[in-house]
Every structure is written in C-alpha cells, then in structure tokens.
Amino acid sequence: MKKGLALLMMLFLLSACSEEESGDYHYLFTGDGEKWEAQYEVEGTAEFRPQNGRTYYHHEYEDQLTVTYKGPLEEIESIETFEYSYETASGGGGVTKRLENPLETTTFTMEGSGTGAGGVRKNEKVKVYIKWDNEEETIELVQSNR
C-alpha cells in the first residue's frame, strides 16, 4: 500500500511539471511601489534529463534585477547605504552598496546566473526588497505581457 501511494505521489509530482517547463524560456516580471519600480528578467533553458535510470529536472539561467527610483536624482543623491534584493519560490539574491556621492543615476542593476534543479515559474510572483538609509519598500512583481 505504501509503495502504491509513493508511486501515485511521484506520478502526481511529475504530471505537475508541464511541457512549458521544458525548453528555452524568457520571463519578465514588473512592478511599482510608492517610490521605486522594479523589473526582474530571467532567461534560460530547462529540460528533463535521464541519469542512472531516473529523470531529473535541470535548468541553466541568467537573470537581471533592475530597480529605479521614481523621483528626481536630487532626492536620493545623499544615500549612504543602499540594499536591494529579490525572492522567488526557488531562491533569490541581493546586494548591499555603500554609495559615494554624488550619485549619478536613479537606476541600479544586478545580474546573475546559475544552474540547478529549481527555477522561476512563469506565473509566480517575485518579491523585491529595497532599503536605503532609514527607509524601505517592498514591491511584488508579476509577469509582464510585454
């Protein structure tokens, strides 16, 4: 009975992985907060690979998070410490910067890449956290139709 239940659970999990999760993908997530807007873009290849008599899900990706202050540069040019990060269902990343004045831009970008068993799903929500000096903002990104 336990083996049958385990087999049923495995089949259910495998069926949850649709064909849209195999092959090349490119997702763009966007969102706006009160003072910041953010964009998370991820592009990669996902596939099911047979190995040692089993099938494994594998993906390789490159991603980029861009956050942009919506106001004029003068409002943030005196920022000393700036943090921004993102969180997906399968992971995340972030950066902390000590900024040198004068600040020359209101847009900040971080890029990354990786491989693994998990990946960003097309319809998931991505959380972006931004902290500057004594303020903070959280933005929920959704898949863009662009």
Report pLDDT for 63.
94
Q: Does some domain include residue 34?
A: yes
In a domain, 14, yes or no: no
pTM metric for this prediction: 0.79
Classify residue 50 as exposed, middle or buried by CB count within 10 Å of its CB (0-12, 13-18, 19+).
Answer: exposed
**Is residue 10 a part of any domain in this protein?**
no
83, 131 Cβ separation under 8 angstroms: yes
What is the chain's pLDDT, residue by residue, as a tens digit (146 residues)? 444 434 333 433 443 444 445 789 899 999 999 999 999 999 999 888 888 899 888 889 999 999 999 999 999 988 888 999 999 988 899 999 887 777 888 999 999 998 876 778 888 999 999 999 889 999 999 998 76
User: Does some domain include residue 59?
Assistant: yes
- Strand pairing category for 91-98 and 81-88: antiparallel
> Is there a domain that residue 126 lies in?
yes
Asked, as a colleague might, if the bond just before 102 is cis with ω within 30 of 0, I would say yes
The number of domains in the chain is 1
Give the whole-angstrom CA distance, residue 33 versus residue 57.
35
Q: Which residue has the tokens 């047979």?
A: 50
The reported pLDDT for the residue numbered 146 is 60
What CATH number did the domain enclosing 104 receive? 2.60.40
Q: Is residue 133 part of a domain?
A: yes
Is 16 part of a structural domain of the chain? no
The domain in which residue 64 lies consists of: 24-143
**Is residue 11 assigned to a domain?**
no
Residue spans of alpha helices (H) in the chain: 2-16
